[in-house]
Every structure is written in structure tokens, then in C-alpha cells.
């Protein structure tokens, strides 16, 4: 039996067939790649369109928030401005307004602009940068006419306060003298002696405070504050727990039962501190915008305000350094607190009542505050 075999292809025919197959394969791959590229482009176009849609929605949401904020400010800020308010924590060195700086330096506007650019914070800074800012203030106070208002000489302060009291009798103004943590004991003792002398001449000084860079302890000054309260009848307020990393000496300070605590940003992180503050109802001075601009809290909503309010600790809303921090007048701070924590008018009145009770002028019967009580209770400046 014979099998018929197909004729063998020549080498030239095999080569021609291979080329044709490769062309078909290449055409098929090119077609597939074109389809894949088209699909990829479609996906990319869709992704870009989706991103643009999200971005447009975010822009619209932001614009709506801005419009709503403006509307709320226009409608409600005047209401907060007309409220009687008690300020317990406003540093003179950080409360110089832009207008005042320009007035003090009207003969050198170029230098005034340079100083203003450094003095006012436009965005949050870490604590070190914030404290560097206060060194800039000394540049402003070099001229003799500036010393009249902002000199470190206490007599100048007393004179300014007395004139303010005569010009604006409806506003009660008193001084709390700050002891910087960097002072050595001898310097602090000398300052306390000087305060005692001025107390005999005026009723403007009502208290002392521990302040300055919170990275320093200042525990060596503890006995100074005990002397100030016991022998000079002065109120004592201490800036404590401003930094989460600097709380080692807080319990020692709290054991002396200060009349008030300034900031206290991280007191709630330690159960012992919470127990002391809650049991003794030590009033707390809270500076909302200041905490945000010193980066100790991410936002006002993250403030410790709500925590202590639920604990029943007396709170006061304060400005700290309204000249340095934008949008931090007392009116604006009340507005921010009301929005962030959904405070009612009754809440704000109670905060003012607690602040007045916590004031050293009230606690040590420095002046007649019956009219102030009336205004706060009736929520009116009239």
C-alpha cells in the first residue's frame, strides 16, 4: 500500500509563509494595542473628568462656606460685639494693634511695614516661632513717645490704665503682672517687692502670673507666687500644660491651688490633673485661636474647651495676643466658640459670669462690680 505525500515546499515558500504569518500577527497585535490604548485613554479621560468634577464640587463647597461664613458674620458678629465680655488673659506685649504700631512709627513707614510683616502671624507657627515673634515688639518700643503707652516701667502702665478708666469708665481695667519662667529667683523676688510698693499707690495691680516659654519649668518661682498671694493679697494665675511634652511640674503647681490656670491645653491628658481641676473647680483661661496658631491643637474644634465644659470647670474665653494673631479679638473669639461648640446665649452668659467670678478684681473686692453683674445677666452694654 502506497501513501501519497504532499509535495515539499521549497525554502523560499517557507520564508514567504513566515513573513505573512508575522504580518498577520503584527496587525493583530497592533489592533489589540490600539483597542487597549483607546480603552486606556477613555479611562484616563473619565478619571480626569471625575477629578475635575470633584474639584469643582469642592470649589463650590468652599465658596458656599465662605458665603455662609460672611452671612453669619454679618448677621451675628454685631450681636457678639454688643455682648458684655470679661477678658482675663490678654498680654499687653501681644495686643498692640496694627493701627497703634503705624501711629507709633508714623515717621518711618518703611520700617513700620517691615515690623508689621514680622509681628502679625498669617499662618500657624510652632511654639518656638511664636515666642520669637514677641522679641520683635522691642523694635517698636525704642522711641521715647512709644514708652508712654507700652514701657516696661510699671508707672507708665498705671498712668495709661488710669487715663483709660477716666476716658472709658464703663470698661474695668486691671493689671496682672507676669513673671517670666526665665527669671532667676532673685530677679523675681525684686519684682514682687516692687509690685508691693506700687500696691500702696494704686489698686490697678490685682494679680501675678507665671508665663513665658512653656519649654522652661519655672518651678523655682513657686514660693514667689505663694508669697504674692499670702502677703500681698494678689491673685495667682499660672500658664500650665501648654505643651504635651512639658507637664512634669504641673502637679506641683496645682497643689498650691492657683486662682486660675492659663491655657492648660494638655491638662486633660493626665487623670491626676483632671481630678485636681474638677474637684477644686480651678477656673481655666482658654485661648482658642492662640492654641491653633501655636500649633498646640489642629483646629478650634479640637480644643480642650468642650472637655472641660462637660466637667463643669469654670471657663473663660480669652484672646492671649490679639495683635499678633489675626481674627482674635474677644468678639471674634466668642463667635468662634459659639459656632464650634454650638453655644447658646445662656451658655455665653454663664461663661461671662464664671469669668467675672474668676477675675481678681471681683475675688479681692478691688472695685464695685454690681453694674457689671447687671450688664452680664441682662446681656447688654447699656
Return the bridge partners of 260, or none: 237
Give the active site residues.
Answer: 242
The residue with cell 509681628 is 119
**Category of 257 on φ-ψ map: left (φ > 0), alpha (ψ -120 to 50) or beta:** left
Query: What is the tally of helices (H) and strands (E) in the chain?
Result: 16, 6
User: What 3-state class would DSSP assign to 121?
Assistant: coil
CB 209 within 8 A of CB 240: no
152 CA to centre of own chain: 25
> For the chain, how far is it from start to end, CA to CA, in angstroms?
130
Return the bridge partners of 317, or none: 286
φ, ψ at 269 (rounded to 5°): -85, -5
**Category of 248 on φ-ψ map: left (φ > 0), alpha (ψ -120 to 50) or beta:** alpha
Q: Which three cell numbers, joined as nine digits, stand for 204?
A: 490697678
Q: Which three cell numbers, joined as nine digits, stand for 121?
A: 502671624
Q: Which three cell numbers, joined as nine digits, stand for 8?
A: 515539499
Question: Side by side, which strands form the sheet with 260-263?
Answer: 175-180, 205-211, 235-240, 260-263, 284-286, 315-317
Output the 3-class SS for 263-302: ECCCHHHCHHHHHHHHHHCCCEEECHHHHHHCCCCCCHHH
Return the bridge partners of 236, or none: 208
Radius of gyration of the chain (CA): 34
Contacts of 187 (CB under 8 A, 6+ apart): none
What is the C-alpha to C-alpha distance for residues 325 and 133, in angstroms, rounded to an integer? 11
What is the C-alpha to C-alpha distance for residues 298 and 231, in angstroms, rounded to an integer? 41
Q: Residue length, the chain?
A: 382
Amino acid at each position: 500500500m502506497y501513501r501519497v505525500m504532499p509535495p515539499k515546499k521549497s525554502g523560499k515558500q517557507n520564508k514567504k509563509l513566515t513573513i505573512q504569518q508575522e504580518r498577520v500577527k503584527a496587525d493583530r497585535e497592533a489592533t489589540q494595542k490600539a483597542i487597549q490604548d483607546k480603552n486606556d485613554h477613555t479611562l484616563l479621560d473619565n478619571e480626569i473628568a471625575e477629578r475635575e468634577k470633584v474639584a469643582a464640587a469642592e470649589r463650590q463647597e468652599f465658596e458656599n462656606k465662605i458665603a455662609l461664613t460672611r452671612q453669619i458674620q454679618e448677621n451675628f458678629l454685631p450681636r457678639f460685639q454688643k455682648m458684655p465680655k470679661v477678658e482675663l488673659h490678654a498680654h499687653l506685649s501681644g495686643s498692640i494693634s496694627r493701627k497703634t504700631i503705624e501711629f507709633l512709627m508714623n515717621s518711618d513707614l518703611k520700617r513700620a511695614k517691615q515690623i508689621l510683616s514680622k509681628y502679625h502671624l498669617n499662618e500657624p507657627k510652632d511654639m518656638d516661632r511664636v515666642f520669637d515673634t514677641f522679641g520683635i515688639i522691642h523694635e517698636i518700643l525704642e522711641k521715647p513717645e512709644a514708652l508712654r503707652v507700652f514701657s516696661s516701667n510699671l508707672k507708665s502702665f498705671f498712668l495709661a490704665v488710669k487715663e483709660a478708666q477716666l476716658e472709658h469708665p464703663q470698661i474695668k481695667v486691671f493689671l496682672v503682672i507676669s513673671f517670666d519662667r526665665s527669671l532667676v529667683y532673685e530677679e523675681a523676688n525684686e519684682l514682687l517687692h516692687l509690685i508691693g510698693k506700687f500696691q500702696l499707690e494704686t489698686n490697678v495691680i490685682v494679680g501675678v502670673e507665671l508665663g513665658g516659654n512653656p519649654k522652661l519649668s519655672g518651678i523655682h518661682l513657686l514660693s514667689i507666687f505663694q508669697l504674692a498671694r499670702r502677703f500681698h493679697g494678689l491673685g495667682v494665675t499660672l500658664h500650665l500644660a501648654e505643651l504635651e511634652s512639658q507637664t512634669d511640674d504641673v502637679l506641683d503647681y496645682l497643689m498650691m491651688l492657683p486662682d486660675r490656670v492659663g491655657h492648660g491645653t494638655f491638662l486633660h491628658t493626665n487623670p491626676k490633673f483632671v481630678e485636681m481641676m474638677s474637684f477644686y473647680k480651678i477656673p481655666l483661661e482658654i485661648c482658642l485661636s492662640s492654641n491653633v496658631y501655636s500649633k498646640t491643637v489642629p483646629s478650634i474644634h479640637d480644643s480642650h474647651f468642650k472637655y472641660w465644659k462637660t466637667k463643669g470647670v469654670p471657663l473663660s474665653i480669652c484672646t492671649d495676643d490679639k495683635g499678633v494673631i489675626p481674627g482674635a479679638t474677644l468678639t471674634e473669639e466668642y463667635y468662634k466658640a459659639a459656632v464650634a461648640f454650638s453655644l447658646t446665649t445662656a451658655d455665653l452668659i454663664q461663661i461671662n459670669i464664671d469669668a467675672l467670678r474668676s477675675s481678681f478684681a471681683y475675688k479681692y473686692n478691688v472695685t464695685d462690680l454690681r453694674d457689671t453683674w447687671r450688664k452680664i445677666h441682662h446681656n447688654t452694654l447699656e
